Structure 1
C-alpha cells in the first residue's frame, strides 16, 4: 500500500526559483523539481477502506483559497543536519487547513501526528554533510523569497515505501473555495502537461 500524505503543490514558476537553490552543498541529495511540495499531514500506510474514508472526509473540507509566500531557508537537525528546506511566511490559513486535516485524521482513528507542523518545502536530504558546509550554504542564501501565490487546492499524494524524496503521485485533488483576489500564479501554472507539482 502506498504511503499517503496531504500536501500543497508548488506552482511551476516558483519551483523553478527553488531549483536555483540547488548545488553548492557536498553530500546533499537534491529533490527533483517536480517533487517539491508542502506536506500538510503525513498519514502513512493505510488499508483501502481507510484510504476511501480519508478521501471522503477530505472532500468535505470547505475553506477559502489563500495567499502564500515562500521565504528563507534552513535545515532540520541542529548538530547533525539531515535536510535543507525553504520556509513559508507566517499564514493563519495554512495552519487552519492543517489543523482541520489533523482533526479529521484523528476522528477516523489515526494516531495524532507527533511532530509540530512547520510548513516548508524540502530541497535536499543530507547524508554525512559537515555542519560547517551546511552553515556556509545557508548563510549565502538566507534572503530567499518568492512572490505571493494563491493556493487554490490541496492534494492527497502517495509515495513509494523507502524512497525518500519521491517520486510522488497525486491521488486526489480537493479544491478550495474561490475568493477572487489577484495572484501572480494561477491553477494553470500548477498543472504541467506531464502531471502535478
Structure 2
C-alpha cells in the first residue's frame, strides 16, 4: 500500500524562515525541513495500481504558475485541545483552483472526492496530549508575512509513518503550465 498526497514544496528561503519560528511551545513535535509542504490534496492509502492511476491523472492538471506568501499562524484542534500548529498562506483563490483540479483528477482515477473544506496552510508542529505556550506563540507570530514566492509545480508524495514521525518521498513532480 502507498500513502499518498499532492503538495507544494515551499522554496528554501520560506522553509528556513519557518524553521526559525519553531520554539517555545511545550509538547510540540516540530516539522523538519524535509517535512515542510503545503498540502493540496490528501489521497490516503492506495494499492500500486491505483497509485499509478493517480500519478497519471495528476499529469493532466494544468494551471498557470501563481504567487503566494506566508500570512499569519493558526492552530487546528478538537475538544479544546490543539493537535497542529500551522502557517497560513495567501491568496487562497489560485490554491483552491489548483486543489479543485487535483481533486477532479483524483476522482477520474477512481477515488472519492475530497469532503473536507480546504484551508491552505503549512503544518509547523503536531501535538500529543500536551501543548504549553501555544497562545504566546500564536500572539508572537500573528503578523507572520513573507515576500511572495512563485508556485511553478506541485508533487505527488508518498508518506511513510515511523517512530520519528512521517518521512516523505516525492513520487513525481508536475510543472504548472503557462
TM category, shorter: over 0.9
- Higher mean alpha-carbon deviation, 49-58 vs 18-27, is at 49-58
2:57 and 2:108 in contact (8 A); partners too: no
Number of aligned positions between the proteins: 177
Displacement after TM superposition at 1:60 (Å): 1.3
1:35 and 1:165 in contact (8 A); partners too: no
* Per-residue deviation, residues 87-130 of structure 1 (Å, max 9, x unmatched): 01123211111001111222332122222111100000012234
- Where does residue 62 of structure 2 map in the other structure? 62
- Where does residue 38 of structure 2 map in the other structure? 38
* Root-mean-square deviation (Å): 1.6
1:2 and 1:161 in contact (8 A); partners too: no
Determine whether 1:147 maps to 2:142.
Answer: no
> Runs of at least 4 residues of structure 1 off by over 6 A?
none
Q: 1:171 to 1:91 in 2, by over 3 A?
A: same
Determine whether 1:160 maps to 2:160.
Answer: yes
Q: 1:11 to 1:88 in 2, by over 3 A?
A: same
Written as runs of structure 1 = structure 2, the 5 A alignment for 1:6-85 is 6-77=6-77, 79-85=80-86
3-state SS of paired residue (2:54): helix
- Separation (CA, whole Å) in 2 of partners of 1:176 and 1:92: 16
3-state SS of paired residue (1:17): helix
Displacement after TM superposition at 1:161 (Å): 3.7
Q: Which has the higher strand share?
A: 2
- Higher mean alpha-carbon deviation, 37-46 vs 88-97, is at 88-97
Q: 1:33 to 1:117 in 2, by over 3 A?
A: same
2:2 and 2:48 in contact (8 A); partners too: no
2:25 and 2:133 in contact (8 A); partners too: yes
3-state SS of paired residue (1:72): strand
